[in-house]
Each structure stands twice: as structure tokens, then as C-alpha cells.
Amino acid sequence: MISQNGFSMKKQMIGGNVIEITPQTYIDMNEEFEEEGTMLRIEVPTQEAIDKWKKWKDPDMHKRTVEPRDMVQGMWEEIGIYTDEEREEYKNKTHIDRQK
């Protein structure tokens, strides 16, 4: 499971040791942040919340939220060219080295 900051929180690997995530893990991280002077605190969840989060799977994880956009086609459309034939005509008009 990947957290919002991109780190795998299910099993953290530190020097080959597997650390089980518990509320104490969050408490320790907050203490470390305080010692380092980091202006960040993490809300400490219950063990039940951690277990629920570990088991949760997003059913729409791989669903597109935005339709892909052809950026090159968008540039052609900005200058009023919509078909392949219009592209070739434009290219031949604007590129002297293509003219015969």
C-alpha cells in the first residue's frame, strides 16, 4: 500500500528489518519530527484504523479520471488544421525543402 506521500507504509524495510505499522510507529515518528525541528505532525490512528487501511483496495485505482489528450493534434487545431490532408498541404506550403 502506498501512502499519499509515495512511501510504502505496509511494510517498511529499514536495514533488512521489517517494521509492523502500529500506533506507536506514528508516535515515534512525531517524536523524531519534534527532535529534528520538523514542522510536521502525524495524526496517530488506532490499530483498527491501520488494519482497515491495510486491507482497503481502491476499486477505481486504474480508472482514468481524465481522458488523454493528443497535444500535437491540439496544436494543429489551434491553427485551424483538422485532417491529415490539411497537415500535408500545410507542411508542403511552409517547408521550402519539401517543395519540388
- For the record, the C-alpha cell of 24 comes out as 506507536
Coil/strand/helix, residue 95 = coil
Amino acid 10: pLDDT: 47
In the chain, the percentage of residues whose pLDDT exceeds 90 is: 32
Is the pLDDT assigned to residue 87 strictly greater than 60? yes
Could you tell me the residue ranges of all domains in the chain? Answer: 11-55, 64-95
Give the mean model confidence (pLDDT) for residues 57-86: 85
Distance CA 43, CA 40 (A): 10
**Average pLDDT for the chain:** 81
Residue 23 one-letter amino acid: P
3-state helix, strand, coil in the chain (%, to 5): 45, 10, 45
10 Å Cβ neighbour count for 6? Answer: 6
Task: Specify whether the CB–CB gap between 79 and 93 falls below 8 A.
Answer: no
Q: What pLDDT, in 10s, does the model give residues 18-57?
A: 778 999 999 999 999 999 999 999 999 999 999 998 888 8
Distance CA 55, CA 73 (A): 42
Predicted TM-score of the model (pTM) = 0.43
Amino acid 43: pLDDT: 95
- Return the DSSP state at 62: T
- Return the DSSP state at 79: T
Task: Specify whether the CB–CB gap between 79 and 72 falls below 8 A.
Answer: no
Q: Which residue has the higher pLDDT, 14 or 86?
A: 86
Amino acid 1: pLDDT: 41
